[in-house]
């Protein structure tokens, strides 16, 4: 991926490298610009290292609430922030755009590098979603990461594949009963 913050070649890499120093090693930043870059970095890290496997909704909500990112960027990224897992690099471009917009916002408002911060991105976090691994719908009640309806379908399919005569799962080969019927 060319021109990406992942490979340290982002559009505003020099500015990013300077602003990221406002972010503490842990906890919230003491200045607003530091908390903004912390939010953008949290989203990017989770995207590129964890497939968006963590609840990062607070970071996206914080950036949107502060006006640092566009509604379009927010809508694209937010969808993935509460439990959906990425299977490929579909967020590479939007994630770089999110960082670009955050840096542009900070550069347009340099006072944010000195404005005391009293908030934490985790204060903006929404409830985590559990997504069904079969139908990709939100799971309210289910079996782990499978909704009730999909679990029933799985169980019915498994029953259809079990030979009544010898209890062998026929998905993995023929059962002994097949030869007896011939």
**pLDDT of 182 over the 60 cut:** no
Mean pLDDT along residues 141-146: 60
Decide the pairing of beta strands 146-147 and 142-143: antiparallel
**pLDDT of 74 over the 50 cut:** yes
How many residues belong to the chain?
Answer: 182
Q: Which of 70-79, 117-126, 140-149 has the lowest mean pLDDT?
A: 140-149
Distance CA 148, CA 128 (A): 19
In which band, very low, low, confident or very high, does the pLDDT at 69 lie, cut at 50, 70 and 90?
A: very high
Query: What percentage of the chain reaches a pLDDT higher than 70?
Result: 90
Who contacts 85 (Cβ-Cβ below 8 Å, separation ≥6)?
Answer: 51, 52, 53, 131
Instruction: Say if CB 134 and CB 146 are below 8 A apart.
Output: yes
| Helices 71-78 + 57-65 axis angle, to 10 | 170
Q: At which residue do the structure tokens 């020099």 appear?
A: 14
Exposure letters 147-181 (e unless 16+ CB within 10 A, then b)? beebbeeeeeeeeeeeeeeeebeeeeeebeeeeee
pTM listed for this prediction: 0.74
Instruction: Say if CB 121 and CB 39 are below 8 A apart.
Output: yes
pLDDT digits over 75-114, tens only?
999 988 987 777 777 889 999 999 999 999 999 999 999 9
What is the rounded average pLDDT for all residues in the chain?
86
**pLDDT of 167 over the 80 cut:** no
Mean pLDDT along residues 141-160: 73
In which band, very low, low, confident or very high, does the pLDDT at 143 lie, cut at 50, 70 and 90?
A: low
Tokens (6 digits) for 29:
């930043």
Query: Which pLDDT belongs to residue 65?
Result: 97
pLDDT digits over 9-36, tens only?
999 999 999 999 999 999 999 999 999 9
């Amino acid at each position: 991926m060319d021109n990406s913050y992942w490979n340290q070649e982002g559009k505003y890499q020099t500015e990013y490298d300077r602003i990221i120093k406002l972010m503490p090693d842990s906890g919230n930043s003491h200045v607003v610009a530091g908390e903004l870059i912390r939010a953008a970095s949290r989203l990017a890290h989770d995207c590129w290292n964890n497939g968006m496997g963590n609840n990062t909704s607070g970071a996206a909500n914080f950036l949107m609430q502060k006006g640092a990112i566009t509604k379009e960027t927010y809508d694209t990224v937010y969808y993935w922030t509460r439990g959906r897992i990425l299977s490929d690099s579909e967020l590479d471009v939007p994630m770089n755009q999110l960082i670009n917009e955050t840096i542009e916002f900070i550069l347009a408002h340099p006072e944010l590098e000195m404005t005391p911060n009293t908030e934490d991105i985790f204060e903006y976090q929404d409830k985590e979603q559990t997504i069904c691994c079969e139908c990709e719908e939100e799971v309210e009640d289910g079996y782990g990461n499978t909704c009730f309806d999909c679990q029933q379908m799985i169980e019915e399919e498994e029953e259809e594949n079990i030979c009544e005569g010898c209890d062998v799962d026929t998905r993995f080969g023929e059962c002994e009963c097949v030869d007896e019927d011939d």
